[in-house]
Copies of this chain bind each other. A is one copy, B any other.
Amino acid sequence: MTEYFPIGEATRRTGVKAPTIRYYEQIGLLPPPPRSEGNRRSYGDIDLRRLAFIRHARELGFEIDAIRALLTLQDDPDQPCATADAIAKARLAEVEQRIRSLQALKVELEAMVEGCSHGRVAGCRVIEVLAAHCKCAHSEH
């Protein structure tokens, strides 16, 4: 007597919207769940965990294909985890890069907000700072 959850309850428990859940089913990320008499999807704990896993991974910035790879590993756990490790490592590098970028940008935005003394745009730094910074067109940051 496992618990049964209709899609609405699944969205409440995982934070993934119903159309998105159906979309994940459609692209094969989530297995098609059993249906009720009235043709409604009924999810169990395992599905909910899988969904939450997907949601969290998406928030981490994993792409669907990376998640698919992880889930495949999970479904077949007698494999070396070098693959999962590689995915996580690549992702880590990206996350670090993004943090660096955003921190640089934060400094700029702060300068903008601070510089804008509620005068006219002519003297407003929001645009100036953004335009000025463009001189570094090809540098990373």
Contacts and interface: CB of A to CB of B under 8 A. Distances in A.
A106 interface: yes
A124 B81 contact: yes
A24 to B, nearest CB: 15
A122 B81 CA distance: 8
Interface in A42-98: 49, 52-53, 55-57, 59-61, 70, 73-74, 76-82, 84-85, 87-89, 91-92, 95-96, 98
Number of copies: 2
Interface residues of A, number: 61
Interface of A: 13-15, 49, 52-53, 55-57, 59-61, 70, 73-74, 76-82, 84-85, 87-89, 91-92, 95-96, 98-99, 101-103, 105-106, 108-110, 112-113, 116, 118-124, 126-127, 130-131, 133-135, 137-138, 141
